[in-house]
């Protein structure tokens, strides 16, 4: 999944990729999120795709599905990522 366009929602992360700072992420285009389980990060990425798809859409916007089992972890990830 190409995340670059979706990262506009997370300014701090986007700056790791396009900023002029001397971050290792600028060279590798990779960020490690050790605090976020992969299944939660996958759902975050799915939300970015959903957000891009339905922002300014004239069609009916479906509800974004969130399983009760990951709701708390997703909330914590959103807080951590400031989104």
Domain ranges of the chain: 5-81
Tens of pLDDT, residue by residue over 17-42, are 565 555 555 566 677 788 899 999 99
CATH topology (fold) of 5-81: Potassium Channel Kv1.1; Chain A (3.30.710)
pLDDT band at 1 (very low <50, low <70, confident <90, very high): very low
CA distances from 48 to 5, 20, 21 (A): 9, 24, 25
Instruction: Give pLDDT, residue 8.
Output: 55
18 SS3 class = helix
**Cα–Cα distance between 42 and 12 in angstroms, integer?**
19
């Amino acid at each position: 999944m190409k995340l670059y366009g979706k990262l506009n929602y997370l300014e701090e992360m986007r700056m790791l990729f396009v900023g002029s700072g001397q971050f290792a992420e600028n060279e590798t285009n990779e960020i490690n999120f050790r605090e976020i389980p992969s299944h939660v990060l996958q759902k975050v990425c799915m939300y970015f795709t959903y957000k891009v798809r339905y922002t300014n859409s004239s069609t009916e916007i479906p509800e974004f599905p969130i399983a009760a089992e990951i709701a708390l972890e997703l909330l914590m990830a959103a807080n951590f990522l400031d989104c």
